[in-house]
Amino acid sequence: MAATLIDGNKIAGEIKEKLAEEIKRLKEKGVSPSLSSIQVGEDPGTKVYVRSQKKSCEKIGIEYNLRQFKEDVSQKELEDFINHLNEDKRVSGIILQMPLPSHIDGRGLQRMISSQKDAEGISPANMGMVVYARPILGPCTAMAVMELIKSTGVKLYGKEAVMVGHSDIVGKPTTLLLLDKFVTTSVCHIATGERGTLPEYVRKAEILIVAVGKANLVKGEWVKEGAIVIDVGINRVEGKIVGDVEFEVAKERASFITPVPGGVGPVTTAMLLKNTVEAAKLQAK
């Protein structure tokens, strides 16, 4: 039986609708959320993201301010700009667009963003709160994965999950959020792939999350019958965007599956907007 598609656009739309109402109420109290975005260079992917972030923000009443720097900008100039944004009371949230040129220490810059303005929820302080199961500004993609799983209505307690990928911004925080829901979670990474045991892990996953960035890494026939499949990967193959899971076969085995595009992506953006609103509230306190 074919899986039910988890409609990321619909879930994101519902989150944004609630946010728009909340923003209206906040503005009546003199609180105006704004997101400051930092872009370096001319990466085509970043341009697309920035355009879509601007549109999404403005649609629900968040002011979006983009500052573009040339490819050869210095680390110091970017640090000074982040310090300026941290101090500026009109700025609720800050996002540093990736990728950055190789002479820039992106991690260092991200660490400088005030944890109260960290719209992506990836600063050490905000990541730390994930460990304590109390994310304040949570890591957007991991929070999006949890929203998508929640939308299935499946009870999570005691389920077996497999997280493929252990990156700092997706795999690790998602694992912690799953543990918080009493999901027994295995984490696979490059060494699992090299050892050749990835199929074994995937086969036992009642909830499978894949965040690697390799098209069709997870074969559809590995997917457990009735599994929930959340595909975070974004890959361009022959001009088309695809995920990390072999979708056509996987959807015949899973009970729920996210499409790529239209799954995790829109909900991640909705989480960015949610964090910006939360950041505005934190600063108004």
Question: Locate tokens 């050490």: which residue?
Answer: 124
- Name the region of 40 (left: φ>0; alpha: ψ -120 to 50; beta: rest): beta
Is residue 165 involved in binding ligand NAP (CB under 6 A)?
yes
Least Cβ distance, residue 66 to ligand NAP (angstroms) = 19
Is residue 193 involved in binding ligand NAP (CB under 6 A)?
yes
Is residue 169 involved in binding ligand NAP (CB under 6 A)?
yes
- Give the amino acid at 273: L
Least Cβ distance, residue 72 to ligand NAP (angstroms) = 25
Among 93, 138, 139, 171, binds ligand NAP (CB under 6 A): 171
Least Cβ distance, residue 197 to ligand NAP (angstroms) = 10
The span of 149-157, 201-209, 251-259, 260-268 binding ligand NAP (CB under 6 A) equals 260-268
The span of 64-72, 85-93, 153-161, 232-240 binding ligand NAP (CB under 6 A) equals 232-240
Is residue 190 involved in binding ligand NAP (CB under 6 A)?
yes
Is residue 106 involved in binding ligand NAP (CB under 6 A)?
no
What contacts 219, CB < 8 A, 6 or more positions away? 199, 246, 249
- Name the region of 191 (left: φ>0; alpha: ψ -120 to 50; beta: rest): alpha
Query: What count of residues does the chain have?
Result: 285
Is 19 or 122 the residue whose CB approaches ligand NAP more closely?
122
What contacts 22, CB < 8 A, 6 or more positions away? 277
Is 167 or 283 the residue whose CB approaches ligand NAP more closely?
167
* Residue ranges in contact with ligand NAP by CB under 6 A: 141, 164-167, 169-171, 188-190, 192-193, 198, 211-214, 217, 232-234, 264-265, 268
